[in-house]
Amino acid sequence: MSLSAEAIATLSHVSTATITTVLLKKGLRNIWMRGTKPLKPGQKRLVGPAFTLRFVPAREDLATPESWSSPISTRTAIEAMPAGCIAVVDAMGITDAGIFGDILCARMVKRGVTALITDGVVRDVEGVLGTGLPVWCDGYAAPPSVAGLTFVGWGEPIGCGGVAVFPNDVVVADQDGAVLIPQAFLDHVLAEGPEQERMEAWIVNEVNNGAQLPGLYPMNAETKARYAATKK
């Protein structure tokens, strides 16, 4: 699935907090990927289709430096990443082995990858930051991936931060972390997200002007009417 430029532009103005609220109203409670924190403060909100990668626990006969030359390796997976995608990596929350370092991240930048999201950690953090690749992760560690993980594949359903992620699901990441929009709900979020943002901005303005919360947030009938009048 390719996201239109219009969809990306719309979602870039809808916060992850708003997305969780919009989808909660549709019954989706588990879309925020735990452990996905911005590696660099101030990273702008980014949007893209998920390109999934999966690790399993390290097994001594498979998780070796020699495995990096295997046809099934993170190196090969990176060469399959399309421009504009967001790489979403299932590292099972392991925080003592870095899944990617500066060289792999530099290659992702060259391939036009939008961002890296993982519930694990990266290594070579200074170098990773130097590549300019936006990263959301659970920190950093010196040991390589094979010290604690075995890479097993890409382009399949994964679990990242406790969230089921399917290839080409839409990912939005900002200062609150990364959230997932299932493909079937994309049009709903595109329609409702901007309106939720407008409504909450209006409520914030009312609060700043001294309004009390009861009847305002959530809105009662009178407040809904006042808000509706502002849109005419």
State the Cα–Cα distance between residues 226 and 154, nearest whole angstrom. Answer: 50
Annotated binding site for Mg(2+): 124
Identity of the residue numbered 154:
W
CB 54 within 8 A of CB 158: yes
State the Cα–Cα distance between residues 48 and 222, nearest whole angstrom. Answer: 39
Report the half-sphere exposure of 9 (CA within 13 A, side-chain side): 3
Report the half-sphere exposure of 52 (CA within 13 A, side-chain side): 21
State the Cα–Cα distance between residues 197 and 192, nearest whole angstrom. Answer: 9
Identity of the residue numbered 15:
S
Identity of the residue numbered 176:
D
DSSP letters, 27-44, are T----EETT-EESSTTPP
Q: What are phi and psi of 125, to 5 degrees?
A: -60, -40
Q: What are phi and psi of 207, to 5 degrees?
A: -60, -45
Annotated binding site for substrate: 101-104, 123
Annotated binding site: 101-104, 123-124
